Structure 1
Amino acid sequence: MKQAKWFLILHIFLGIYASSSVCSKLAARQPFLSVPFILLYGAMLLALVVYAFGWQQVIKHLPLTTAYANKAVTVVWGILLGFLLFGETVTPRQILGAIVIIIGIVLFVRADHEGEDQS
């Protein structure tokens, strides 16, 4: 149960990491050095700092291989955020790719846990 909590926390931090891209995309639409530009790039940097500190906490509680394998989910977050916030089209190829990523993460984490159980 404790690991499930840290998986959830990991994915929250990965969502924050993905949101930094949203801030940079929004900032790129603003005039250079305008107030919105500076605020959005500041938000991007803040998201990266929060993610970095969160990542350090997560790897104290989850195996590094498991945590690092889950970083691939940021691609899925990117697809979802692009669709929800920017109205980007999600193609069948992207959906298939997201499914492959999720299946890969699940298989890797299961294999990693089976390896720990045998040790």
Structure 2
Amino acid sequence: MFEVLIVVYIIVAVALVGFILIQQGKGADMGASFGSGGSNTVFGSSGAGNFLTKTTTILATAFFVLCLVLGGITAKQKGEGDNWNDLEVPAAEEVVAPGSEDVPAAESTPSEVPQ
């Protein structure tokens, strides 16, 4: 069920972004006076304003409801053991093997110094 809700959540989120990007701004009506033609739209002479606004509202509501549902489901799931749950147990000490130093041993050959 959780996976199905995640898929629906992603589809609603992508559709919401798409519908928001399709909408025209408030200043877009000015183009209609210069021959843009509002009566030739798919949604009639009133334009797509009402349809897009209602669809965006429904998608936004679905998005927030799915957020709350998925958050509730996630909070109820039992998580794996956390290292911070039991602070009374001492931490495991790291044992370093002898001879495994980071710095290699220096060679004992003398170096020639140019004069």
Do the structures match in fold with TM over 0.5?
Answer: no
Q: Which is greater in Rg?
A: 2
What TM-score comes out, normalization by structure 2 length?
A: 0.42
Q: Which has the higher helix share?
A: 1
What TM-score comes out, normalization by structure 1 length?
A: 0.41
